[in-house]
Structure 1
Amino acid sequence: MSIVRKRLSPEHSRAAALNAARELLIEAGPQAVTLKAVAGRIGRTHANLLHHFGSAAGLQKALIESLAESVTAEIGAAVFRARAGDHDPREVVDMTFDAFDRNGAGALASWMILTGNEDALNPILDAIQRLVDKISSDHAHKDQSLQEETLHLVLMALGDALLGAPMAKALGLPRGAARDLATRALLAAHLHDD
């Protein structure tokens, strides 16, 4: 008996693969994001995914691009809400930290670097640069540039995603200590701007 598969448009097939890859990343880490695993999750063939992504590295690059675009869009919206006085700047910190920790971007970025696929990080770096360009156009900083503030926040979020829990535990600090430090730094930078 043959299995009848529902035919998907190339866009829907690609989107389904990226959603499955994102789920695998969060559930089992970057090493689990393989063409075979993603194909199995969405009921497609390995060859189908090769057609869309070219290789496992291509799938991972598309995943990181998708994550970068969605996360920077959310963070950008949070920045504008915080500027309007509607939200606490902690929202920006939490979204950035969550992107690298809970959404798996920190583990995926590290995996890419460690496996020699550093070019796959370009979508993250490009998305961050576009966000900084967008939000810096109407916001001057006196003591610290937005680029420096972004570097500080992203590096703290990445470090926290990779080592935050065991480091905080070893130092006898609460798990959210790095987020608290990042929030204080962000608030301090903006207090000096006024």
Structure 2
Amino acid sequence: MAHLGNGVEYGLHCLLWLTGSHAEPASSRDLADLQGISASFVAKLFPRLEKAGLVEATGGVRGGYRLARPADCISVLDVVDAIEGSKPLFECQEIRGRCAVFGGKPPAWSIDGVCGVHAVMLRAEQAMRRELARTTIADLAASTGKKAPDGFTQDIRSWFNARWSARTDTKAPTDSDRTAGRRRRKT
């Protein structure tokens, strides 16, 4: 089982799409539909990202999410901690003190200091957190952008604009619209 869940992957990919230059906010549903992932799962991620100050939300039909700060000021670690919390990579169970030959009373030499296994896990976690902290959403977007063919950014911008236009062209029916609709159905 992976230590970091798929929420981190989904969150990072969603934030990458928000680094684009489309002018309007993107809804969690649009971000999910664009990537072919669960809209309900993505919708659960964004309050965590918002609480962490990574995105900001606007409400209403034209609402959605935008990055709350520049992409080069949001680290991958910020996203991991927002979605997963800052839980440790490894939780030492202090097995070394349970050795059968100690008869339930481990000597001081066996438990003094940090366990060797725990020490290596701590170093690994620190190295991972350093790498995640130094890599920004802007870094990821730049490396992803290098792989994309010419015109892909415009295709994405057009896709988002079409979605946004569809939302803004749809209006809630007024009371008079509903009344007229009922009269038409009765006749």
User: Is the TM-score greater than 0.5?
Assistant: no
Structure having the larger proportion of residues in helix: 1
Structure 1-normalised TM-score? 0.26
Structure having the larger proportion of residues in strand: 2
Answer 1 or 2: higher relative contact order, Cα 8 Å, separation at least 6: 2
